[in-house]
Amino acid sequence: MATKIFKLPQFIAEVILPKEYEATTVVVAGGRAPKASWLQEVAIDKKVYCADKGVEICFEADVIPLELYGDGDSAPKELYEKAKDLGVVVKSYPAEKDDTDLQLLLENLSNGNVICTGVWGGRFDHLYSNVFSLLAHKEKNQGQVILADDKEAMLLMNAGEAVKICLQEKVKALSLLPLCEESKVTLKNVRWELEEANLKLLHPYAISNIPDKEFTCECIAGKIGLYLCFVE
């Protein structure tokens, strides 16, 4: 097992993972755009990849991605041309395809940790696909995957993983979301602590907890999403 520290504007997470990856990649999807300053801070010293409309989010924040994946059905064509002019590697696909743009990006991503933004705030079916596509990517390479912007964040956790989080901003709610049929967790330094508690996919009750500034979570069995909603 290895320990890795992730620093985001709203929190610092010290995560215990089965594999050690130094590199963390920022992936920008086409949902709600984070604040430009948030993306600029998160992207420092990291490779950035984007899926279709994610290129618009990047350019609005003056962030230049390394690669752009997509079918061009969401981002204006002129942004694809601008990306090429800036030296971005553009990988185009037909609009009629089985995989989503994010799935195609993840299939071509090297092993490592991922911070994915541009996933919140849109249609539920898009969010559902994004969460489980990122979970599949985590299953494949066993790195850390964090879905985040300036308003919401979720750390994906597998059995045997643990995290200590130090909050830098006030949280409206902390929730543990089971992502498989049954999971077991321990959650400490929150208003309602859990000790080897069973979480079932069809009975997600561990919702809207209130954490201390520092709290810990251990995923003993199964798969969960540790979700944080921040006060705006």
CATH classification of the domain holding 61: 3.40.50.10240
Into how many domains does the chain fold? 1
Q: Are strands 152-158 and 145-148 parallel, antiparallel or unpaired?
A: antiparallel
Is residue 160 in some structural domain?
Answer: no
Q: Phi and psi dihedrals of 58, rounded to 5?
A: -60, -50
Q: Which amino acid is at 98?
A: D
Is residue 171 in some structural domain?
Answer: no
| 205 within 8 A of 230, measured Cβ to Cβ | no
| 173 within 8 A of 232, measured Cβ to Cβ | no
Per residue in 73-126, pLDDT (tens digit) is: 777 888 888 989 999 999 887 767 778 889 999 998 888 899 999 999 888 999
Is residue 92 in some structural domain?
Answer: yes
| 169 within 8 A of 11, measured Cβ to Cβ | yes
Is residue 100 in some structural domain?
Answer: yes
Show Cβ contacts of residue 30 under 8 Å, excluding neighbours closer than 6 positions: 51, 52, 53, 54, 56, 57, 74, 75, 101, 118, 122
What's the length of the chain? 232
Is residue 114 in some structural domain?
Answer: yes
| 63 within 8 A of 42, measured Cβ to Cβ | no
pLDDT bin (cut points 50, 70, 90) of residue 127 is very high
Q: Which residue has the tokens 């921040």?
A: 230
The parent domain of residue 94 ranges over: 21-150
Q: What are 212's two structure tokens?
A: 């201390």
Terminal-to-terminal C-alpha distance of the chain: 36
157 by DSSP, 3-state: which? Answer: strand
Is residue 54 in some structural domain?
Answer: yes
Is residue 79 in some structural domain?
Answer: yes
Q: What are 15's two structure tokens?
A: 């995560």
Is residue 30 in some structural domain?
Answer: yes
Q: Which amino acid is at 211?
A: P
* pTM for this predicted structure: 0.93
% of the chain residues with pLDDT over 90:
76
Mean pLDDT of the chain: 93
